[in-house]
Amino acid sequence: MVSPSALLEARQAAPSVGGLVSALSQTSTNGKSILGTLLAPWLPLFLVNNPLPNGFPWSLRDIFTDYHKDVPFTGVIRRYDFTISRGVIAPDGYQRDVLLVNGAFPGPTIEANWGDTIQVKVTNNITAPEEGTAVHWHGFFQKGTPWYDGVPSISQCPIAPGKSFTYQFQADVYGSTWYHSHYSAQYAGGLFGPLVVYGPRTEKYDIDVGPVLLSDWYHAEYYDLVQEVMSPAGPGIVFSDNNLINGKNNFNCSTKPAGDNTPCTNNAGLAKFKFQRGKVHRLRLINSGAEALQRFSIDGHKMRVIANDFVSVEPYDTDVVTLGIGQRTDVLVKADGKLDAYWMRANISTICGLTRQPFAKAAIYYNGANQNKEPTSVPTNPPDPGTCVNDDLALTKPKVKMPLPKADKVLTLDIELFQNETGHTLFSFGGVAFRGNMNSPTLLLADLGNTTFDPIWNVQNTGNAKSVRVVVNNNSPIPHPMHLHGFDMYVLNEGPGAWDGSIVRASNPQRRDVIQVRGSGHVVIQFDAASNPGVWPFHCHIAWHVSAGLLTQFLTNPAQVEKMRVPNTVAETCRQWGAWTKTNIPEQIDSGL
């Protein structure tokens, strides 16, 4: 296997020509990342075989195994070492300061088998200025390890500048996901990357193309954007400047504002992918942006959906995949087109999001095609329905069938948009606009038996409830991708106005960890709270909305939380953060998350 560094050197040495070949080096646009280049290999990249009975590390388990109750334990530890630092790159040709993981944007791909242990040492080398950080491993249940969920003020204290923290958790589900900072809006500045867990194949395919990250992109730094959103004198909204596929796109530098002297190159280069004619390819679509609802398509090709988030579904065909922030959809695409090259497209829904430039393209080349020639394919252009929601719940039937249990606790949480006494535009969720205390994580207090929390932390204590139903009424006109940590939630219904009490397919409702709720509408979810003791955020995944307070946290099974033995390293991280904040006052101008 050729090393990523050797691949990068080969990419930089390639001759520069017009058209799709970048006018900038890969280092200039994406640092040490090779995602989005034809040198990015298909998956798996470097997994060592760990055969158990039947030649698979998950043994006799298959796609119908209930992974909530039966997870393999391979005994294999997948070790990664991440250093987070600042850097200057130009993903779309517009040069800006970003956050990098091991010098790369997007960050390195993490791989594991179902049942492996993922261990990631994260070193905070963010300087000029220094600030804390933490990394969330999106979609994992973290059963027995809630302190590794990676959320400051809830599951841990931030990692102090110059310090390290090692996350270690089981790959308890399989499929496609991502990791990202959960400290303020850092991931809008580049701190994210893909994560793949291999498990039983739900459908047959030939080639795993790997992650396809869709990201709205801002030319201002994330802290400045948070300041703009949170300013009482501002409009409370910000617009993205571009849209990226695997961290790449072109930008028209002539559209820069007058007086903006930032270095800018028009032909930064587009992402490229390779297909084998006649073969079936798996694409792992991930919305890793900050605000935008993405509509993904491939000219001249149907897509077969096989999973939404970590949940495998009965396959169905579509022309367009709709992805809210944090959502993932795995699709199969057969390379059966008549042309040699096609455009892949990610279009930000301008009805549902705020952007100055919504269109991203990437080139797909069949084997033997001229890889420097632009595709001539045309889009199907299905109309944007404008509802800002995911596929019809009737379509999304999980492979692992789980009938909806009886709810023994029901919560109704309303989303409201309002201005507080100081003129700041905020969101309340269940009557509270969340603001965290990074020096006092809720989980650590609950582990000590302290369940009396500051009201502004917005903690919902579910007690010994086995299954909790949550009715979310969105009384704002803005759609929200709602993410629940620690669970894949049953999605009972979604629609305009108030819930009428009906449930879509109670015998086997859709499950996922992020669900879109439309503006002035509702979504009803349920989760089996008692099965996973801990403290779990439930929040809008739009960076600017959670900054403005749209988050609650569920304390589940508190009696069991009190019995947990939290590793000493978690307390040590709080001591390090406490020591740093004695002489350095963090500018927490938002909720902290």
Q: What average pLDDT score do residues 339-362 get?
A: 97
- Nearest CA to 538 out of 450, 475, 469 is that of 469
DSSP letter at 161 equals T
Distances (CA, A) of 275 to 271, 297, 332, 468: 14, 15, 12, 45
- Helix, coil or strand: residue 217: strand
Q: pLDDT tens digits for 230-283?
A: 988 777 899 999 999 999 999 999 999 999 999 999 999 999 999 999 999 999
Judge whether 349 and 287 are in contact, CB under 8 Å: no
Task: Reduce the DSSP state of residue 451 to 3 states and report it.
Answer: coil
CA-based radius of gyration for the chain = 23
Give the tens place of pLDDT for each residue, 63-104. 999 999 999 999 999 999 999 999 999 999 999 999 999 999
Q: Burial code of 429-452, b = ≥16 C-beta within 10 A, e = fewer? A: bbebbbbbbbebbbbbbbbeeeee
Q: Is the pLDDT of residue 504 over 70?
A: yes
Q: What is the pLDDT of residues 441-453, one digit of tens each?
A: 999 999 999 999 9
Alpha carbon of residue 247 to chain centroid: 14
Strands 207-217 and 110-113: what pairing?
unpaired
Residue with tokens 């892949």: 344
Strand locations in 199-354 (E): 207-217, 242-245, 271-275, 280-287, 294-298, 303-308, 311-318, 321-323, 328-334, 341-348
**Bridge partners of residue 78, in order along the sequence:** 118
Given this model, what pLDDT does residue 52 score?
54
Q: What strands, in cross-sheet order, belong to the sheet with 551-556? A: 459-463, 551-556, 534-540, 480-484, 514-517
Q: What is the pTM of this model?
A: 0.95
Q: What is the pLDDT of residue 278?
A: 97
Q: What is the mean pLDDT of the chain?
A: 93
3 pLDDT more than 60: no
Asked if residue 511 has pLDDT above 50, the reply is yes
Mean pLDDT, residues 201-210 taken together: 94
Strand, coil or helix: what is 422? coil
State yes or no: pLDDT of 18 exceeds 70.
Answer: no
Q: For residues 245 and 577, give the distance between their C-alpha atoms in angstroms, rounded to a whole number.
A: 35
For the cut 80, the answer to whether the pLDDT of residue 27 exceeds it is yes
